[in-house]
Chains A and B, each alone.
Chain A
Amino acid sequence: MKLELATFPVTKVQWGERTVYRDGLLEIDKQELLSLVREDPKIVSADFDIALPGDETRIVNVRDVVEPRIKIAGPGCVFPGILGPVESVGSGRTHRLGGMAVVVSATYRPTILSGTAAQNSSVLDMWGPLAEATPFGSTINVVLAIKLQDGVTELEAHAAIQLAEFKIARRLAETTRELTAPEAEVFGIGEVDPALPRVVYIDSFLTNWHAPHSLVAYYGLPVRESLPTYIHPNEYLDGALTKDTRIGSGEYTYTWEWLNKGIVYRLLREHGKRLNFLGVILQRTRFEAEHGKQVTAMCAAQMAKLLRAEGAIVTRTVMSGANLVDVMLTVQACEKSGLKTVFLTPEWGGHDGTEPPFVFAVPEADAIVSTGSTDREYRLPAPKKLIGIKPGERVQLYAGDRWLSPSEELTLDDTCLAGTTDWWGGGKYTRVQY
């Protein structure tokens, strides 16, 4: 199973008469895109904007960020189960627009007002301290700002937001259909030298089984309380893993990140060179009683052993203390069964680094790579331009939070900001012991 991923770099985006890509320039017919979005009657207002790295622009009510990709050859489509039928993906040829992203900013009247199933959003600045700390501060962002009609259920809100951004992403990627990419890479995990160390990637992510959308979906099906599942790494590249788009807080994940997971690309590129990449074990957390945590930990380790792995890299999502327990127990179960295990993760530590990095740990977690702290504080200067909100309006980033005036200077932490948390090792920010 091989996937050729062809990259068409975008260095300039502008509005034009037609939607077309040529030599790094992406021209967009705004009216065409607007009519695509308006196909959904649940969207009562929509507008587009372009936000460039360096602009003193603040985007508010951010729900998701997605990279335009389209399948050119091979079974299925990008975002199978959502934009097309459920068909196994990860082979053939897929085109992507590099250096740009579609950001969706959305408002609607929520019906769940507290707890883990409640909606939330984040802030994205294209300049200043925040822009440097997130990958989305360096991409040319086509921003879709929408408002949904009153009375939508939470699940309808997610579906409307997701469909709108995915249709736009697909339409933009479609511009490359007949073109030949300047660069392309072929990915797969076929047979290699059997002497190479056998490595498995355990992708641990939090799901809220009781919520309308559980936070993470596989082929569009929300993952709820299932046990570990074995998948092919190429599936990420075609958007097999997606997320709840009502949840925009920086504490969670963005579709763009699922398509561009640092650790997956690194392992794919090392396959056949320094290691034998056996594949991916998806593991949902967090079980709400100790029994469940122990079973998932045992099962993930056992699955890795059945694959005859010698080593495992484990990652996680969401800075929840409770889900850290599931993941630490998984690291422990792996080590105890003879698998050499590395835990790649952000840490807490407080914003001056004097608090404990973890609230819970196991002695077997002796090989940790830190992607930095999620407790950083940012002083963000006032923007010249706001997208996703009218000047003078205020925003509440999550249920129960204070109301902020985004046109002013803000002091926020990583949970409020889009993309500053590095779950999957794509960045170089870390913390060091002093």
Chain B
Amino acid sequence: MSQLRVVHFVNQFFAGVGGEEKADTPVGVIQGPVGAGKRLQELLGNAAEIVVSVYCGDDYFAGHNAEAVEAIRNIARDADATLLVAGPAFSSGRYGFSCAQVCHALSALPGMTCIAAMHPENPGLETYRQHKAENVYAIPAAKSAGGMGDALARIARIALKIAGQEQIGSPAAEGYIPRGVRKDAWSGQDGAQRAVDMLLAKIAGKPFVTEIPLEDAERVPVAPAIAALAKARIALATSSGVIVKGNPDNFKAHKNVQWRKYSIENMDTMRKTDWDVLHSGFNNVFMKENPNFGIPLDASRQLEREGVFAKLHPYFYTTSGCNASVPVMKRLGQEIVADMKAEKVDGVIMVST
């Protein structure tokens, strides 16, 4: 069994370069382990060798993300490393972020596995949970460097498994923080029994573990308000599945992967023209009879005539959003917005069912 070659990523402080005053240190390399990495090497024994340690100042990384990551990736590749250890970053937010970013970048290298360690509340974990890479493991560490020994022991445990080419099991079994990837599994007991067991534990005040931890909602920054509505171009959009009669663009009743824009130039109501409604998640009868319910054209035209806003964009944007994949809809949303921006749309009224 050949020895696992390891690259250890640390920040300027843990590399011994300096403290906060050296946070703008660019990427640097030290042969072999440095600082706490020496202790980690002891724990790894002969199974793995920290061939190179790479460091980067917290501020430098934050300001030169792409270059820093590129440099670190090259170092790892040149060193023929197949394991990256990043941190432990404990509660340091900038350090945790750079650890997560380095892991994400290096996880794309063939054969690479990445282990990062930080406190479970370190915001760097948002990156980790967002990317959901199965060859990246985040180990929980204490808030401060007092927990170094424990963190290194946990890192070493997983690293030794990787060195021994053993399968890494579930977060619960192996002690790492879940990324939020849901994988198929078969329980020893049926769902009904597990539900009763969980309920009885909950009633008795005994501990239990939920099988679906709830994710935090994504925070979307609020776009700035429209300052002068009377000068604005407003567009209408919908996910209710209002489409051209006959469905020439082959929309599906659910799980769509496309959007379209259709002309409403010179129309003052959706009712007079023939549209179809294709959405298997609600009763389409009312919308078909009066598509103004999904694309409020009649009301919008009236307000346009009254000068409440300057121009109603001559196209409406549509898809059928039933049972849709969230990442697909995110992509459609981005494409629609790009189109609207190119057409100088200032504001959108999006109707969903």
B221 at the interface (CB under 8 A from A): no
Complex-state Cα separation, A433 to B174, whole angstroms: 12
Given A373-B182, A430-B191: A367 and B198 interface contact (C-beta under 8 Å): yes
Q: Which of A106-143 contact B (CB under 8 A)?
A: 114-118
Q: How far is the CA of A401 from the CA of B253 in the complex (A)?
A: 7
Selected from A363, A368, A399, the residue in CB contact (under 8 A) with B253 is A399
Please measure, in the bound complex, the distance between the C-alpha atom of A339 and the C-alpha atom of B195, giving whole angstroms.
15
Whether the pair B280, A115 counts as a contact (CB closer than 8 A) is yes
CB pair B252 A430 closer than 8 Å: no
Asked if B65 CB lies within 8 Å of chain A CBs, one says: no
A110: min CB distance to chain B, Å: 14
A324 to chain B, nearest CB (A): 12
A116 touches B283 (CB 8 A): yes
Inter-chain CA distance A424–B191, complex, in Å, is 8
Main secondary structure of the interface of A (DSSP, over half): loop
Residues of B within 8 A of A199 (CB): 196, 199, 203
Which residues of chain A come closer than 8 Å to B280, judged between CB atoms?
114-116, 118, 398-400
A116:B196 contact, CB within 8 angstroms: no
Give chain B residues whose Cβ lies under 8 Å from the Cβ of A53: none
Q: Does A92 contact B (CB under 8 A)?
A: no
Residues in B whose Cβ lies below 8 Å from that of A322: 281-282
Q: Which of A388-434 contact B (CB under 8 A)?
A: 398-402, 415, 422, 424-434
**A422→B191 contact, CB < 8 A:** yes
Binds A, one of B267-275, B308-316, B319-327: B319-327
Give the size category of A's interface with B: 35 or more
Q: How far is the CA of A356 from the CA of B325 in the complex (A)?
A: 9
- Asked whether A347 lies within 8 Å of B212 as measured between CB atoms, the reply is yes
Partner of B181 from the list A118, A354, A365, A402 (CB cut-off 8 Å) is A354
Known: A115-B285, A208-B283, A263-B192. A433 touches B202 (CB 8 A): no
> Smallest distance from the beta carbon of B18 to chain A beta carbons, Å?
38
CB distance from B287 to the nearest CB of A (A): 9
Within 8 Å of chain A (Cβ to Cβ): is B93? no
The answer to whether A433 and B277 touch across the interface, beta carbons within 8 angstroms, is no
> B116 → chain A, closest Cβ, in Å?
16
Given the known interface contacts A115-B284, A313-B196, A434-B171, the answer about A355 and B191 at a Cβ–Cβ threshold of 8 Å is no
Contact of A428 with B187 in the complex, beta carbons under 8 Å = yes
Minimum CB–CB distance from B127 to chain A (whole Å) comes to 15
Residues of B within 8 A of A117 (CB): 283, 285
Query: Given A199-B199, A368-B211, A376-B184: A262 and B282 within 8 A (CB)?
Result: no
Is A83 on the interface with B (CB-CB < 8 A)? no
The interface bits of chain B over 242-267 (1 if a CB of A lies within 8 angstroms of the residue's CB, else 0) are 00000100011110000000000000
> Scoring B residues 182 to 198 as 1 if CB is less than 8 Å from chain A, else 0, what string do you get?
11111111111111101
Minimum CB–CB distance from B86 to chain A (whole Å) comes to 19
In the complex, which residues of chain A have a beta carbon less than 8 angstroms from the beta carbon of B108?
A: none
- For residue A372, CB closer than 8 A to chain B, the reply is yes
Determine the residue in chain A with the shortest Cβ distance to B213. Answer: A433
Q: Assess whether A242 is interfacial by the CB under 8 Å rule.
A: no
A115-B285, A263-B192, A311-B199 known; A428+B186 contact, CB < 8 A: yes
Using A262-B192, A428-B191 as known contacts, say yes or no to A275 and B186 having CB atoms under 8 A apart: no
Contact with B along A339-364 (1 / 0, CB 8 A): 01110100101101111111101010
Contact with B along A304-334 (1 / 0, CB 8 A): 0000001111000001111000000000000
**Known contacts A114-B278, A433-B180; A355/B327 CB under 8 A:** yes
Q: Which residue of B171, B183, B187, B210 is within 8 Å of A353 (Cβ)?
A: B183
Q: How far is the CB of B155 from chain A (nearest CB, A)?
A: 19
- Find A266's partner among B180, B192, B247, B277 (CB 8 Å cutoff): B192
Task: Please tell me which one of the listed residues A115, A263, A359, A372 contacts residue B195 in the complex, with CB atoms under 8 A apart.
Answer: A263
Determine whether B80 belongs to the interface, using a CB cutoff of 8 Å to chain A: no
CB of A432 within 8 A of CB of B170, answer yes
B196:A434 contact, CB within 8 angstroms: no
In the bound complex, CA of A426 to CA of B191 (Å): 6
| B291 vs chain A, min Cβ distance (A) | 13
The reply to whether B195 and A342 form a contact with Cβ atoms under 8 Å apart is: yes
Closest to A335 in B: B202
Q: In the complex, which residues of chain B have a beta carbon less than 8 angstroms from the beta carbon of A288?
A: 282
In the bound complex, CA of A433 to CA of B132 (Å): 11
A311–B202 Cα gap in the complex (Å)? 9
Is A274 a contact of B200 with CB atoms below 8 Å?
A: yes
Question: Which of A265, A367, A422, A426 touches B202 (beta carbons < 8 Å)?
Answer: A367
25 A/B residue pairs, CB under 8 Å, sorted by A: A114-B277, A114-B280, A114-B288, A116-B284, A117-B285, A197-B203, A208-B283, A266-B195, A267-B196, A322-B281, A340-B202, A341-B199, A342-B195, A347-B212, A354-B327, A356-B215, A358-B214, A368-B210, A370-B211, A400-B251, A431-B184, A432-B185, A433-B181, A433-B182, A434-B171
Residues in chain A within 8 A of chain B (CB atoms): 114-118, 197, 199, 208, 210-211, 262-263, 265-267, 270, 274-275, 288, 310-313, 319-322, 340-342, 344, 347, 349-350, 352-359, 361, 363, 365-373, 376, 398-402, 415, 422, 424-434
Interface residues in chain B, defined as those with a beta carbon under 8 Å from any beta carbon in chain A: 132, 134, 170-171, 178-196, 198-200, 202-204, 208, 210-215, 247, 251-254, 276-285, 288, 323, 325-327
Top 6 closest pairs, chain A to chain B, by CB: A425-B191, A425-B192, A115-B284, A353-B182, A400-B253, A266-B192
